[in-house]
């Protein structure tokens, strides 16, 4: 473990919204490339990393349901969109010589590996970045829940949720200029206040298995390394009393 690092093995949760940058949808490959560059820096210092990626920049099942799509079908389409995003991240990382593997919870053997826990751990032990796609492989579960599940399965020390904002606030900072940012908050407070961090299934899972969550702005230059090194940016969610 690098002496500057607070964590040795982490799971990074990236939403599809992050990947679209300032566009209304799709993939901004400049943003993906910039995130890949920040990942490369800490991987070369010995960080063990897995990534769970969402697909909302391409297709969102919950939104499609409102227009008449069957929710199960819509969620299946959403799972496929995460595979596209995972391949985009893989390409960006491998262009800068970071070895990766994509594992999918649904079988697409011609494109990616199936999710196999022991194989994923072997890849991570060998210094490869493993990108988990297709959520949990089941409709009606979000990629937040998939991140919580995969973090537990690979024994990650923390879930790092990369967002467009600087952490968790008491209300939407884009709407309320006087919104207050939390430096630390408990799972109980998240649930009690109804704070939008991850879905409640993911939050209660992390609480039950004592998996801390660090929410931070991944688009800030150097922020990924800062969070890995334990610098006081973002918001840390733990079980402890504040």
- Give the residue extent of every domain in the chain: 9-238
Residue ranges of the chain with per-residue pLDDT less than 70: 240-242
**pLDDT score for 240:** 67
Tokens of 3: 């002496």
Q: Are 7 and 157 in contact (CB under 8 A)?
A: yes
**pLDDT score for 64:** 87
**pLDDT score for 242:** 43
CATH 3.20.20.80 describes domain 9-238: no
**pLDDT score for 9:** 98
Q: Are 234 and 215 in contact (CB under 8 A)?
A: yes
How far is 183 from 190, CA to CA, in rounded Å? Answer: 13
**Residue whose C-alpha is closest to residue 47's, from 128, 110, 120:** 128
For every residue of 114-165, DSSP letters joined together read EP-HHHHHHHHHTTPEEEEESTTSSTT--HHHHHHHHHHHTT-SEEEEEESS
pTM: 0.95
How far is 224 from 35, CA to CA, in rounded Å? Answer: 8
Q: Are 51 and 89 in contact (CB under 8 A)?
A: yes
């Amino acid at each position: 473990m690098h002496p500057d690092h607070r964590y040795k093995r982490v799971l990074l949760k990236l939403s599809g919204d992050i990947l679209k940058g300032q566009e209304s949808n799709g993939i901004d490959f400049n943003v993906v490339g910039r995130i890949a560059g920040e990942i490369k820096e800490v991987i070369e210092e010995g960080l063990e990393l897995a990534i769970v990626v969402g697909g909302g920049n391409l297709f969102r099942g919950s939104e499609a349901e409102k227009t008449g799509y069957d929710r199960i079908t819509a969620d299946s389409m959403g799972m496929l969109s995460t595979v596209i995003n995972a391949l985009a991240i893989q390409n960006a990382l491998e262009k800068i010589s970071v070895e990766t593997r994509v594992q999918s919870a649904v079988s697409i053997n011609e494109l990616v590996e199936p999710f196999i826990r022991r194989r994923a751990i072997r890849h991570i032990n060998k210094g490869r970045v493993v990108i988990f796609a297709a959520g949990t492989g089941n409709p009606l579960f979000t990629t937040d829940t998939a991140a919580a599940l995969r973090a537990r399965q690979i024994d990650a020390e923390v879930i790092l949720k990369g967002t467009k904002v600087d952490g968790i606030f008491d209300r939407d900072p884009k709407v309320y200029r006087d919104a207050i940012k939390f430096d630390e908050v408990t799972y109980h407070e998240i649930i009690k206040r109804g704070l939008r961090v991850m879905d409640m299934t993911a939050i209660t899972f992390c609480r039950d298995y004592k998996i801390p969550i660090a929410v931070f702005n991944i688009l800030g230059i150097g922020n990924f390394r800062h969070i890995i090194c334990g610098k006081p940016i973002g918001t840390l969610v733990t079980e402890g009393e504040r």
